[in-house]
């Protein structure tokens, strides 16, 4: 099996270390003013104007059922390409782009239950911490019930 190193764009969410495939990331931008969408699922934080394009911003903390972000902390936007156009993930802090090898990869752990378990593709066992890999497509899909 050809072992190819993969690159991930990493970010922090409630002290957890997450990553998405760097090839899926269109850009990373600082906090943008947002338009609140009434009647929308709670995960939808609002709409941002990305150079004339309207992009839906999702609060990843809510999506992953983590605790709410403190009011004084402004999130960052990780804009990810999806089939339905770009979607922005709101995260706490942006990390580096890391390159990891397949040998330290662990498929999804069954012990992570519920929504987070479905959204996490797998885990890289880095030396000092764990890198949780987010399935961007699943994360960007929000059912009406949410």
Partner 1 sequence: MSDLVVDELVQEFLVESYENLDNLDRQFIVLETEPNEEIIASIFRTVHTLKGSSGFLGLNRLEALTHVGENLLSRLRDKKLELTEEITSALLAMVDAVRVMLGHLETVGNDGTDDHAEMIAGLARLAGEGDGATHADPAGSAPTGDTGGNAASDDVRDGDEGGAPVPTGDTHEAAGVGPAGPAPTAAGGDEAAVASVASGAPTSGAGSAADTTIRVDVGLLDKLMNLVGELVLARNQILQVSAVVAEASFLGTSQRLNHITTELQEGVMKTRMQPIGNIWNKFPRIVRDLAGTCHKHVRVEMEGAETELDKTIIEAVKDPLTHLVRNAVDHGVELPEVREACGKPAEGRLHLRAYHEGGQVNIEISDDGGGIDVARIREKALSRGTVTPDQVTRMSDREILDLIFLPGFSTAETVSNLSGRGVGMDVVRTNIEKIGGSIDINTTLGQGTTFRIKIPLTLAIIPALMVKTAGDSYAIPQVNLLELVRIEEGHAAASISEIHGALVYRLRGELLPLLYLQQELQVAPADEVAAGQGDVSDTAVSHHDGALNIVILQADNRAFGLVVDDILDTEEIVVKPLGKLLKHISSFAGATIMGDGRVGLILDVLGVAGNAGLGTSREPKNGSGAVRQESEANRGQRLLLVGTGTGESERIAAMPLSSVNRLEEIPLSSMEQSGNQKVVQYRETIMPIVWLADLFPNAATSESETAAVVVLSIDGHTIGVAVDRIIDVIEERIVVQQVSNTAGITGSAVVQGRVTEILDLTAVLSALAPSLLANLSRDKASIGS
Binding positions for partner 1, rule: CB under 8 A = 33-41, 44, 46-49, 52, 54-56, 58, 84-85, 87, 140, 142, 144
Query: Is residue 25 classed as helix, strand or coil in its secondary structure?
Result: strand
Distance of CA 85 to the CA centre of its chain: 16
Closest approach, Cβ 123 to partner 1, in A, equals 27
Residue 8 CB, nearest approach to partner 1 (Å)? 24
Query: 58 or 123, CB closer to partner 1?
Result: 58
Shortest CB 20 distance to partner 1, Å:
18
CB closer to partner 1, 111 vs 143: 143
Nearest approach, Cβ of 119 to partner 1 (angstroms)? Answer: 15
41-68 residues labelled b (16+ CB within 10 A) or e (exposed): eebbbbbbebeeeebbbbbbbbbbebee
Taking the least distance from each CB to partner 1, the nearer of 102 and 146 is 146
User: Residue 16 pairs with which residues in a beta bridge?
Assistant: 13
């Amino acid at each position: 099996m050809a072992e190819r190193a993969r690159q991930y764009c990493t970010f922090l969410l409630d002290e957890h270390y997450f990553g998405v495939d760097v090839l899926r990331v269109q850009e990373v931008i600082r906090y943008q003013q947002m338009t609140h969408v009434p009647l929308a699922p709670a995960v939808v934080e609002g709409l941002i104007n990305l150079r004339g394009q309207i992009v839906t911003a999702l609060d990843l903390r809510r999506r992953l059922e983590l605790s709410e972000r403190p009011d004084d902390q402004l999130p960052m936007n990780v804009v990810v390409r999806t089939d339905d156009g770009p979607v922005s993930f709101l995260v706490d802090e942006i990390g580096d782009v890391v390159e990891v090898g397949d040998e330290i990869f662990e498929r999804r752990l069954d012990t992570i239950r519920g929504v987070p378990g479905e959204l996490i593709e797998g885990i890289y066992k880095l030396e000092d911490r764990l890198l949780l890999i987010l399935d961007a497509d699943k994360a960007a899909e929000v059912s009406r019930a949410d």
